[in-house]
């Protein structure tokens, strides 16, 4: 029913966005969960629903292998001090850094955190530490996608995450915890899933998925 409503051609876009905001707020407010997200989708969804950022993965992105490793052992990594590095081990990060000039965090000398929407290391560290303290360890959810050098061979590492998880992709991956988004089917990978939330909802409703996986 929700998908039909948001995909109706009769409703103006502004009204659809307002209705989605109401839907997200009413569905998620008061629910105890932490959404670990490999990009900005998790944080933007919480902001729209008017709920606290109970996750440190807000306003940033991680490359797939680092994100899977982080989600396989979150207590080990989140309890480690956040340090910063000057260069990324990922060649494609060079373009991001030239365009945005953001700090790169590091956990245990292994996990890179690309603080895309942060001005400096001090801001990144302060907000990261504050949000780490808010993590709901009893209700962790994980969402990621096929961006940033993802390959299907990485699914074996994705499988090792023990929490409820989902991976959004442009192509069919034939995996029970992945969802292909038809809106991006002609692309190499998914694009901005939050800005296009009303266009992908027929394939995946993040709000409904959170509700399904939380008490």
Decide if pLDDT at 1 tops 70. Answer: no
Mean pLDDT of 166-170: 98
Q: Give dist(CA 44, CA 212) in Å, integer.
A: 19
- The 3-state secondary structure of 122-161 reads HHHHHHHHHHHCCCCCCCEEEEEECCCCCCHHHHHHHCCC
Task: Confirm if 145 and 169 have CB atoms less than 8 A apart.
Answer: yes
pLDDT tens column, 36-64: 999 999 999 999 999 999 999 999 999 99
Is residue 46 helix, strand or coil?
helix
The single residue listed with the structure tokens 């560290």 is 125
The reported pTM is 0.93
| Strand pairing category for 104-107 and 111-114 | antiparallel
């Amino acid at each position: 029913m929700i998908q039909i409503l948001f995909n109706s051609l009769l409703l103006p876009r502004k009204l659809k966005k307002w209705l989605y905001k109401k839907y997200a707020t009413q569905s998620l407010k008061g629910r105890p969960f932490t959404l670990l997200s490999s990009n900005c989708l998790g944080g933007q969804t919480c902001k729209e629903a008017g709920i606290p950022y109970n996750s440190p993965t807000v306003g940033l992105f991680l490359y797939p292998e680092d994100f899977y490793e982080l989600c396989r052992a979150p207590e080990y990594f989140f309890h480690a001090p956040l340090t910063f590095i000057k260069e990324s081990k990922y060649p494609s990060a060079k373009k991001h850094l030239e365009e945005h000039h953001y700090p790169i965090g590091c956990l245990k000398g292994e996990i890179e955190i690309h603080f895309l929407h942060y001005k400096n290391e001090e801001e990144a560290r302060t907000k990261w530490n504050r949000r780490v303290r808010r993590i709901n360890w009893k209700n962790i959810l994980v969402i990621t996608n096929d961006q940033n050098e993802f390959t299907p061979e990485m699914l074996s590492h994705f499988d090792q995450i023990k929490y409820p998880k989902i991976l959004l992709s442009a192509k069919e991956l034939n995996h029970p915890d992945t969802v292909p988004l038809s809106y991006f089917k002609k692309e190499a990978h998914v694009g901005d899933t939050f800005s296009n939330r009303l266009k992908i909802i027929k394939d995946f409703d993040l709000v409904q998925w959170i509700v399904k996986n939380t008490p």
